[in-house]
Amino acid sequence: MLKVINYTAGILEANNYLLYDDASGECALVDCSAVVDVDEILGKHCNDGVQSSLKLKYILLTHGHFDHVGGCFDMKIKYPNVKIFAHKRDKELISALKMQTMFFGCPSVKNFEVDEYFNSEIELKLGENVIKVIETPGHTLGSVSYLTDDTLFTGDTLFYEQIGRCDLPHSDFKQIKTSIVDKLFKLNPELKVYAGHGMPSDIAHEVKHNQYFGEFAQF
């Protein structure tokens, strides 16, 4: 089973997640807001006795907004063998990082190359563990969530009792409703939900208490 370390990074303090497998030493980052040292993160946050260096295999982007990808350029230099994955429908968004930062009045972000744009719900391996991609458009065209055995990483699609913004270019409220209600809410209710910003939740809590699509929502 994969272990998870949550840390915030970047000018908008987005949540980034380090997933690692003890047996193989392989690890992945879900989103990459700033350049980091994965072994340093492990040392700061982990008390389970892991001593060996981690091998960064993937950077898994939940979507292409600048606050979630700002460290990719420098991480590729620091870890040249890492492979960056993103959904193909966010390719245009990732290629327009300068325009994004200008729109929000934020410092510029370095352009980078995605190693693999996928266009379906693929599976990736981290050690012997499977990471499943779930397409969850709405916040952006290519927003995805990443599912492991007991954890769901939702990016800016599903937050604690909230949902991602749908008033931005490439966003759509009807799409995000379908993604959350027809896909994510049908998953194991015990799944831990780790979002792109804010505190964690779980599927059962969101099904009942989400202010947009929960049991008592008015939308």
Write the pLDDT tens digit of every residue in 129-158: 999 999 999 999 999 999 999 999 999 999
pLDDT tens-digit series, residues 161-184:
999 999 998 999 999 999 999 999
Structural fold of domain 3-209: Metallo-beta-lactamase; Chain A (3.60.15)
CB 165 within 8 A of CB 212: no
On average, the pLDDT of the chain sits at 94
pLDDT tens-digit series, residues 94-129:
999 999 999 889 999 999 999 999 999 999 999 999
pLDDT tens-digit series, residues 55-102:
999 999 999 999 999 999 999 999 999 999 999 999 999 999 999 999
pLDDT of residue 53: 84
Which of 45 and 8 is assigned the larger pLDDT? 8
CA 90, CA 127: separation in Å to the nearest integer?
Answer: 27
Is 90 exceeded by the pLDDT of residue 47?
A: no
- pTM attached to this predicted model: 0.96
pLDDT of residue 44: 84
CA 115, CA 83: separation in Å to the nearest integer?
Answer: 6
CA 127, CA 2: separation in Å to the nearest integer?
Answer: 9
